[in-house]
Amino acid sequence: MAKFPPISKCNLESKSYKTVAADLDGTLLISRSSFPYFMLIAIEAGSFLRGFLLLLSLPFIIVSYLFISESLAIQTMIFISFARLKARDIELAARAVLPRFYAADVRRESWEVFDKCAGKKVIVTANPIIMVEPFVKDYLGADKVLGTQIEVDPKTRRATGFVAGSGVLVGEKKKMALLEEFGDESPDVGLGDRTSDHDFMALCKGTALVSSLTIYIESDRRVCDI
């Protein structure tokens, strides 16, 4: 990961930007792992047994994320947490339970950059839209969530456990989703924290990499020129 001057050296009050695209886990949130939030959904919308099964799968999820693919790890969490649950129950848990836990995990430095945007604010995340949308729209002020679509049986309105559309939104798929959303008008600022965010961040006029300690901004190789 490249090293950039800390955001504390940037005079944000003198900068103005109208569009921003940001990752969620590890960027706007302190935690880089969405596992705890999947666990909450599994228990609140499902049962303690479902939560226990998800916990048992944690070693496989970690190995998948580190050595196989981020996509497989997230797909595994989605399948165990969501399969056969009513979409309505997932939505209710996401709205009633998750926000208080998400709110306690917000990264102040990156949220200030996100919040300062005067126009369109977009979240680009591998997480299911159904899970994060209530929080990021109602509490972070996001206008749109570009995330993973879960597959729902149209007859039973239950989640199948699989993903719909283009699949889990990671890497190149984040980039394609951003291109579809913004077209030729690149976002003024892109916020991310990991390698799989680099593809969509490369489309943005200004970029910010978030580390576990702080947030750093770069735009056209000039510090804080956003």
For the stretch 68-93, pLDDT in tens is: 999 999 999 999 999 999 999 999 99
Does 111 map to a domain? yes
Does the pLDDT of residue 223 top 70, yes or no?
no
Does 164 map to a domain? yes
For 27, 109, 110, 113, the CA distances from 12, given in Å and listed in that order, are 18, 11, 12, 8
Does 1 map to a domain? no
For the stretch 38-50, pLDDT in tens is: 999 999 999 999 9
CATH code at position 195: 3.40.50.1000
Does 31 map to a domain? yes
Does 193 map to a domain? yes
User: What pTM value is reported for the model?
Assistant: 0.89
**What's the token pair of residue 28?**
């706007």
Q: What is the pLDDT of residue 212?
A: 57
Does 75 map to a domain? yes
Residue-number span of the structural domain to which 32 is assigned = 7-223
Give the number of domains in the chain: 1
